[in-house]
Amino acid sequence: MSSLSHQCPQCGAPVELQKTDRIFTCPFCQVRLFIYGRGPLEFFIPPRISSPGTLVYMPYWRLRGNVFVLTASRTQHKILDSSLLAVKTNSVLPTLGLRAQAMTLHFVEPTTPGSFVQPDLSSAILKAQLVKFIPGLDLPNEKRLVAYIGDSLSLIFQPLYALEQHFIDGLTGKILGPMDVDREKFHPASSSLRFVSTLCPKCGWDLQGHSQSLVQTCSHCETTWEAGPNQGKEVQVCFRTSVSSPDLYLPFWNVHFATTGFTLKTWSDLIQLTNLPKVPQPWMAVTPFTFRVPAFKIRPELFLNLASAVSLHQPGQVTSTLPKVPLHPVTLPKNEAFEAIPVVLGRMAPARKSLFLRIQGGKIAPVKATLEYIPFVQQKEEYFQPELGMAILKNALHWSTRL
């Protein structure tokens, strides 16, 4: 894994952190700060040579996540981990290769010197392109649902020098090729990166949580916060209650959505749409249906199974009281959970062919997501959820913070 280095905004000490950290922790002055960016986080590799040319940084999208392809009869999933040049030029390498792993990265800040070429390929286009090149993934020419769920999407800028109509590699000094990117595309850094206080905006207490978690909690006023541009932004959270006393809570995004072209508002609509073998009951006609998608990184097959099992479980009692047992870190942003909705719907349907016909030409658009924590009881090698009768191996969760 690539390392990341940053000067502490409070005491100036150089601090090493993980690229997956969402909280900056300084071991010298003990400050803890949210790492906030409006879009994907931006990193750069500093040049290793000096040159009389203009220092220019070329953007690469770096993606890591799960890809799902569902057809009427088949479910495929693959782990995607790649980088791709985000600008049209023939002079530089199309991918970062091993560079992104071997080099120390730095955050692009609004004040970082040099010219930055802004990507002309959006991350959505990139995802669609990458899916075509995933080894072993079969894209049959039939109706299908495809989702790319990136648990890590970032921009990595690689250093070049523009000198006398040529690009020179900022790491090796090698001439790469003719300068085929318009100088008008060279801009100063436009990063929105900020380091934001982790003091509770409501009561001033220190927020707590895992350094890789997107949310932090205040045990004093029992509130939950994510990074905002100037301070923490409150997140709506609830905790499912359980018959047994839990040892761990796993976070799920409870996704509210709207459909066009087909109807999916209540549990009755869901049963009709998917042909689920459930006996209709009065509550189903009046209870809104929402999707529950894991808010943490986990292997693709488990991700889809968990989303489906938890979404299909009739919502139980919830409380807003912060439990005393550990909360698993939230490592999957809600925007990525939104991408999963169509494939979760596909996964839930026993007869996918008729579902495809019913949703053809329609759309599901996310409206909002709240966090819902589900309690699990610790057993020898797994965590067990008594209400759902569901178990997750402990090492499957361990994988989720290492990825």
Give least dist CB 202 to Zn ion, A.
5
Give least dist CB 168 to Zn ion, A.
36
Site residues (vs Zn ion, CB under 5 A): 8, 10-11, 13, 26, 28-29, 200, 202-203, 205, 218, 220-221
Q: Do 32 and 198 meet the contact criterion of CB atoms below 8 Å apart?
A: yes
Phi then psi dihedrals of residue 312, to 5 deg: -85, 0
Phi then psi dihedrals of residue 67, to 5 deg: -115, 135
Site of tokens 């290793």: 48
Helix (H) or strand (E) holding 339: helix 334-348
Give least dist CB 332 to Zn ion, A.
25
Shorter beta-carbon distance to Zn ion: residue 7 or 275: 7
Shorter beta-carbon distance to Zn ion: residue 231 or 259: 231
Alpha-carbon gap, residue 149 to 307, rounded angstroms: 13
Q: Where are the beta strands (DSSP E) in 37-143?
A: 41-44, 54-71, 75-85, 104-107, 115-117
Shorter beta-carbon distance to Zn ion: residue 100 or 218: 218
Query: Could you tell me how far CA 176 lies from the centroid of its own chain?
Result: 34
Tell which residue, 228, 224, 255, 229, has the closest CA to residue 239. Answer: 224
Give least dist CB 14 to Zn ion, A.
10
- 195 forms beta bridges with 35
Shorter beta-carbon distance to Zn ion: residue 28 or 133: 28
Shorter beta-carbon distance to Zn ion: residue 218 or 359: 218
Shorter beta-carbon distance to Zn ion: residue 13 or 393: 13
Give least dist CB 229 to Zn ion, A.
19
Give least dist CB 7 to Zn ion, A.
9
Q: Is the torsion defined by CA of 77, 78, 79, 82 positive or negative?
A: negative
Q: Do 62 and 152 meet the contact criterion of CB atoms below 8 Å apart?
A: yes
